Amino acid sequence: MTDDPGSHAFDELVRRFNSPLLVVTTCDGHERAGCVVGFHGQCSISPPRYSIWLSRANRTYRIAMFAEYVAIHALGLDDRDIAALFGGTTGDDLDKFAYCAWTSGPSGVPLVDRLPNRMIGRPVAFLDDRAADHVCAVIAPERVSLSASRLRPMYLTDANDVEPGHEAEEGAV
């Protein structure tokens, strides 16, 4: 099957890449936010950098723009409830942090207790393709923690039933 970008073949190809899912949290000094992120990847080896893409429609994007730190947590297969909370609801309507155990990290960035495989880092650059509905934040990791046991990641195809709290189209420019 071949097709034009933006149509079915593109969506299907990316679905087959099947990226692992993250929960990205942040705090701007006043308010906390966090959402599920499937668009991400390492983007430098030395120095280490990790990129995450945030939808302009999301509250997490609006808070991250002014945050000193973000925390990037790996979701495990057993974390369906956390995925539904952070991916299926929006902080515009609900205080997600009233529904999960968390600890305050540097500059108040919330660390989700159930998700120990994580990095905390500073956003050092943003890439804003004005035509796109997501904005890239490049993160310089400062602290990394790992669980003692092996992570069984949750992948995109494991979360087919989670309806995003905000549709990306809401943030289109």
Determine the 3-state secondary structure of 103 from DSSP. Answer: strand
Size of the site for ligand FMN (CB under 6 A): 25
Sign of CA dihedral 123, 54, 63, 22: negative
Q: Residue 53 Cβ, how far from ligand FMN at the closest point, in Å?
A: 5
Return the number of other C-beta atoms located less than 10 Å from residue 10's C-beta.
12
Give the residue, chosen from 26, 27, 53, 67, that forms a contact with ligand FMN under the rule CB under 6 A. Answer: 53
Of 41-49, 90-98, 105-113, 144-152, the window that binds ligand FMN (rule: CB under 6 A) is 90-98
Residues within window 125-164 making contact with ligand FMN, judged by CB under 6 A: 134, 156, 159, 162, 164
Give residue number: closest CB to ligand FMN: 165
Cβ closer to ligand FMN: 52 or 120?
Answer: 52
List all residues 6 or more positions away from 122 whose beta carbon is below 8 Å from its beta carbon: 68, 69, 70, 139, 140, 142
By C-alpha distance, which of 173, 88, 70 is closest to 126? 70
- Residue appearing with tokens 């149509």: 7
Q: Are 100 and 83 in contact (CB under 8 A)?
A: no
Q: Residue 87 Cβ, how far from ligand FMN at the closest point, in Å?
A: 3
Cβ closer to ligand FMN: 59 or 73?
Answer: 59
Q: Are 59 and 66 in contact (CB under 8 A)?
A: no
Q: Residue 2 Cβ, how far from ligand FMN at the closest point, in Å?
A: 26
Contact residues: ligand FMN, CB under 6 A: 21, 33, 35-39, 53-55, 58-60, 87, 89-92, 134, 156, 159, 162, 164-166
